[in-house]
Amino acid sequence: MNFIRTFPVKHVPWFESVGCRINVGGKIIVYPGDIGSSHDFDDLVSRVQGADLLLIEADADKPSPNHFTFEQAAELAQRANVKQVVIVHIKPIPQWQERAREFIKDKPNFRLAEDKMVIEL
C-alpha cells in the first residue's frame, strides 16, 4: 500500500514544521525536514525506523535547536537501521562542503545531495 504520513518536528518556534514518511512500491522514504537537537531523538528514531532512504539535513557544526550536525545524522541512521542516507541542506561554502565529503568518505551508505540526483532504491 502506498501512503504518506506526516509527523511534527521541532525546527523554529514561530511556525509548525512537519516531516514525512512515504511508503511507495514497498520502499520507505523519510524526510524530517529541518530539525534540531530540541526534537526528542527517540521519537525521531521511531519515525525513521527501517527506512530505505533517509533525506536528512545537517547544517550545524555543533548541536543546535534548529539544525542537525553530521554526527547526529549518522547516529540517527545507525539507531534507526536506515539503508541509505542522503545529506541535504548543506551550506554552499567550499570548506563546509569539504567537511561533508570528509565526514561521509568512510560511510558507504551516505551520500551528499546534488542537483538532478537520481537515487535507486
For residue 27, what pLDDT is reported? 97
Tell me the pLDDT tens digit for each residue of 43-68: 999 999 999 999 999 877 777 777 78
The answer to whether the beta carbons of residues 68 and 35 sit under 8 Å apart is: yes
> What type of residue is 2?
N
Tell me the pLDDT tens digit for each residue of 67-80: 788 999 999 999 99
User: How many angstroms separate the Cα of 37 from the Cα of each of 5, 69, 86?
Assistant: 22, 9, 19
Which contacts qualify for 25-28: CB closer than 8 Å, 24 or more apart?
Answer: 25/121, 27/52, 27/53, 27/121, 28/52, 28/53
Give residue limits of the domains in the chain.
Answer: 3-112
Q: What is the pTM of this model?
A: 0.90
* pLDDT bucket at 83, cuts 50 / 70 / 90: very high
Which contacts qualify for 19-23: CB closer than 8 Å, 24 or more apart?
Answer: 19/47, 21/47, 21/48, 21/51
Domain covering 3-112: architecture? 4-Layer Sandwich (3.60)
At residue 1, does pLDDT exceed 90? no
For residue 64, what pLDDT is reported? 72
